[in-house]
Structure 1
């Protein structure tokens, strides 16, 4: 099966029938007819509004646990679909997006006026930019690492790139 094809009704049922598939498709956000990665990244913003209230160490723990669970879930879902990294598997966008937004949790990086919604939009846009553009080493990871780890790792690195650019931008604006 080509990773660019849409899911059949049977494939949708396979994904939604298991906890791994449900998680891997971002609670259904990856089932959008187009721009699945963008829909997954947008869906990731909703839980982030709650996650941002966590302490720094607990937030990082959520990222690490979410990454590990994502490797498993995306591996299971990919095998069920017969495609390593089908575009409907968007849990990687959740973890990558949450990684990209890490600078918004560092008070020293925020201006005196505090968090502003444009910062969230900037973090979203930067993550999508690096996830789609895939500069090295993201492109290398995307091509070389397979299975659930391959689904997850390139988006985490894209999130790290976005976080660094966002942190630099916040530093220079404050």
Structure 2
């Protein structure tokens, strides 16, 4: 159920504002249910191309998109007057890309990484929950997803090594 008291931008507003368009994951954050999952799904085609980069370049892209994300998420949050509006999904996209850093190739691993990332992002085990509640602005919006990605990447890499 969508909370009608939280402002929801229209598709037209997103198209007029590059900041909102990116923060809302090219419109995927407008999904009426599970916008974070739809934002993570939007990250998949980008990951497909990223996975072919050398590790240093892949990581550089993730660092740059995370830094840009601090601005995008903060600006979108201020424009909407809501901290970490559910439709802001740039953080989920970057979180997924970080989860998949150095992941084994294949769609099975891509799906496994997606599920792991979403589980940690939704469950928010400590210190993710603490960061989510106490760190505000664009940095806070990005940081809880970066931490969730760290947990997800660790489990993914341990699973890959175990299956190895």
Cα pair 2:7 2:80 within 8 Å, conserved:
no
Distance 1:134 1:101 in 2: 19
Where structure 2 has 5 or more consecutive residues not aligned to the other structure, the ranges are none
Residue matched to 2:43: 44
Larger Rg: 1
Deviation at residue 138 of structure 1 after TM alignment: 0.4
**TM-score, structure 1 normalization:** 0.88
Question: RMSD value over aligned CA atoms?
Answer: 1.7
Distance 1:54 1:160 in 2: 20
Residue matched to 1:156: 146
Distance 1:169 1:27 in 2: 32
**TM-score, structure 2 normalization:** 0.93
Distance 2:153 2:81 in 1: 33
Residue matched to 1:69: 68
Matched, 1:118 2:108: yes
User: The residue matched to 2:79 in structure 1 has which SS?
Assistant: helix
Aligned residue pairs total: 162
Q: Which digits, 9 at most, give the CA deviation of each residue in 1:132-158, with x for residues without a partner?
A: 000000000000010111111100110
Cα 1:38–1:6 change in 2 (3 A) is farther
Where structure 1 has 5 or more consecutive residues not aligned to the other structure, the ranges are 105-109
Cα pair 1:15 1:77 within 8 Å, conserved:
no
Cα pair 2:132 2:144 within 8 Å, conserved:
yes
Distance 1:17 1:6 in 2: 23
Cα pair 1:24 1:74 within 8 Å, conserved:
yes
